[in-house]
Amino acid sequence: MVLELFGMASFHWEKTVETCFCFDFTRRQEEGKCTKQKQETKINLFGRAQAVHTRRMDFTSSFQTIPIISSFVFFLLLFSTLLPSISASQFDDFRRLNQTFRPGEESKKMRLIKAHLMKINKPSVKTIQSPDGDIMDCIMVHQQPAFDHPTLKGTKPLDPPERPSGYHHMHSEHYQLWSLSGESCPEGTIPVRRTTEQDILRASNIKRFGRKIAKPVRRDSSNGGHEHAVGYVTGEQYYGAKASINVWDPKVTDRFEFSLSQMWVISGSFGDDLNTIEAGWQVSPELYGDNYPRFFTYWTTDAYQATGCYNLLCSGFVQTNNKIAIGAAISPTSSYNGGQFDISLLIWKDPKHGNWWLEFGSGVLVGYWPASLFTHLRDHASMVQFGGEVVNSQSSGSHTSTEMGSGHFSGEGFGKASYFRNMQVVDWDNSLIPLSNLKVLADNPNCYDIRGGINNVWGNYIYYGGPGKNPKCP
C-alpha cells in the first residue's frame, strides 16, 4: 500500500529574557537601565527560523537608542541561545507522523509508549550486550509475551514434536551477531531483543508498532505498494514447508520501506480471514533502526488487520530455545561473486497437537505458533510461497531503489542472485516431499524478477530479486 504523505509540522515557542543594552557596560549596569524582551520564534518544516517577533517592554526610567550594529550583534547572540538544537531527522519524523507539538499530547503519547514497553519487555535474569548495539534480555520461558494471550494464559511450553519423515539433518552453522559476544542465556530462559522507546518512536503508526501495514491480498501475490517475486504451490493440502535461503544485506533507501526474503504458509479466502505463518530474513530500518539482515517471524489470522505481529512483539508465538533470538542480526552474509551464506528454515504442523513448529539453521527448534491462534490454519494450509517482498513507497515520485535479495536479477545466477534451494512441502502424512507444479510470479518483473528450476543437487529452486529503480523500472 502506498504510504500516505502526511502533513508537515511546525513549532512555536515564547521566551522572555532580561538583558542590558550597553555601550559602556559598567556605567549602564550601575544605572540599571535595561530592557526586557519577549521573543517569539517559529520554526518552519525545514528547521529554519520562519519568523521572529520581539516585543520590547521598558522597565527603566530612561532608555537610549541602540546603534544598529550593536543591536544586530546582540540579536544574533540572543537567537542562538533561544533556538534549541533540532536535527533534520527529528523534523523528518514529525513531518511523517503528522504531529504538531503540544505538551499535553506528547505527555500522553510517552505514557502510552512506556506502558507498551512494560508489556513486551519482561523481567530478565541476565542481559547480554550485542556487538551491533542490541540488548538481549534472558527471560524465563513461562514469562514470555506469548502467555499473555487469552488462549495461552496458564499454559506451559510443549515438548518438541517428531520431525517430518524424509528430514535429513545437515549440519550447518548459524550465526547471529549477539552470540558472537560469547555470552548465552541460561537454560530455562529465552533471549528476547529488548524493545526501546526509540524503536516505537520510529514507527509510522505507533498503534501498529510491530505489525505490517494492512494491505489488499491477491491469491497469487499482493499489491498496494508491496511488490513480490515469489514461487508458489497451491491446489493441495499443505502441512508445512522447508527451504534454504541465502542471506544478503540489500539496500533499503527509505526508512519506512523494507526488503525481506521468506516462506509463507497460507490459508483462508484471501479476504479478511486470511491466515499466514511467515519466517525468513529482513532489512527494516523502521522496525530495527539499522540495515542489518535479521531473522524474523510473523503471523496473522485476519489479513494483517488486528492480529499478529513480528517476532515476539505481541502475544502469540511460543519460543522454546535459548540460543536463537528472533529479530537478531544474522552474520555473515553472502557477497556478490563471492562466498554464499544461507539459512535453512522448516515450518511444519505437529500431527499430535496441531501446533506449527519452526526450525532454524542446523536442526534447532525455535518454538511454535499454537493452533488456537488461527482459524483456517488450525487444519492445514492451502498455499505455500517462497520469495522476496519489498515496500515501494514512491516517496521520491518514482519507483523505489530499495533492493530485493542481492539487488541483482535472477538471470545472473549463483553467486550473484538470491536463491531458495531444496524447496519442499510437508504432506498429510507428515512427510517432506518435492514440490509439484511450482509456479513463479513477479508483480513488476522490470524491477524484480524470478525464475525457477530443478536439479539433482538442489531439487526445486528459484533465483529472484532485483535493483528496483532502473531504466526499465522508472
30/176 same-domain check: no
252/152 same-domain check: yes
| Domain-embedded: residue 98 | no
| Domain-embedded: residue 1 | no
163/49 same-domain check: no
Tell me, what's the pLDDT at 144?
94
- Partnered with residue 193 across adjacent β-strands are 136
- Judging by beta carbons within 10 Å of its beta carbon (0-12, 13-18, 19+), is residue 109 exposed, middle or buried? middle
- Judging by beta carbons within 10 Å of its beta carbon (0-12, 13-18, 19+), is residue 169 exposed, middle or buried? exposed
pTM higher than the cut 0.85: no
* Out of 59-63, 150-154, 426-430, 446-450, least confident range: 59-63
Cell of 381: 494450509
Q: pLDDT per residue over 338-394, tens digit each?
A: 999 999 999 999 999 999 999 998 788 999 999 999 999 999 999 999 999 999 999
220/132 same-domain check: yes
Euclidean distance between CA atoms 382 and 268, whole angstroms: 8
Q: Name, of 33-37, 44-48, 197-201, 405-409, the range with top average pLDDT.
A: 405-409
64/168 same-domain check: no
305/339 same-domain check: yes
| Domain-embedded: residue 133 | yes
Q: Are the beta carbons of 426 and 243 closer than 8 angstroms?
A: no
What does 30-51 look like in DSSP terms, one character per residue? HHT--EEEEEEEEE-TTSSEEE
84/199 same-domain check: no
232/374 same-domain check: yes
Cell of 321: 530455545
What does 333-370 look like in DSSP terms, one character per residue? ---TTS---EEEEEEEE-TTT--EEEEETTTEEEEEE-
- Is pLDDT above 70 for 14? no
Tell me, what's the pLDDT at 174?
58
| Number of domains present in the structure of the chain | 2
Residue 66: pLDDT band (50, 70, 90) is: very low
The torsion angles phi and psi of 242, rounded to 5 degrees, stand at: -145, 145
| Domain-embedded: residue 245 | yes
| CA nearest neighbour of 140 among 193, 184, 185 | 185
334/388 same-domain check: yes
71/195 same-domain check: no
- Is pLDDT above 60 for 137? yes
| Domain-embedded: residue 67 | yes
Sign, Cα dihedral of 232, 258, 422, 167: negative
| Domain-embedded: residue 108 | no
| Domain-embedded: residue 6 | no
| Domain-embedded: residue 211 | yes
Residues acting as catalytic residues: 278, 389
Domain housing 300 = 115-465
Q: Are the beta carbons of 290 and 282 closer than 8 angstroms?
A: no
- Is pLDDT above 50 for 217? no
For 5, 24, 187, the CA distances from 278, given in Å and listed in that order, are 29, 75, 27
For 12, 47, 85, 151, 191, the CA distances from 79, given in Å and listed in that order, are 14, 14, 12, 58, 49
Domain boundary among 90, 106, 131: 90
80/143 same-domain check: no
- Judging by beta carbons within 10 Å of its beta carbon (0-12, 13-18, 19+), is residue 147 exposed, middle or buried? middle
How much is the average pLDDT of 309-320? 95
395/446 same-domain check: yes
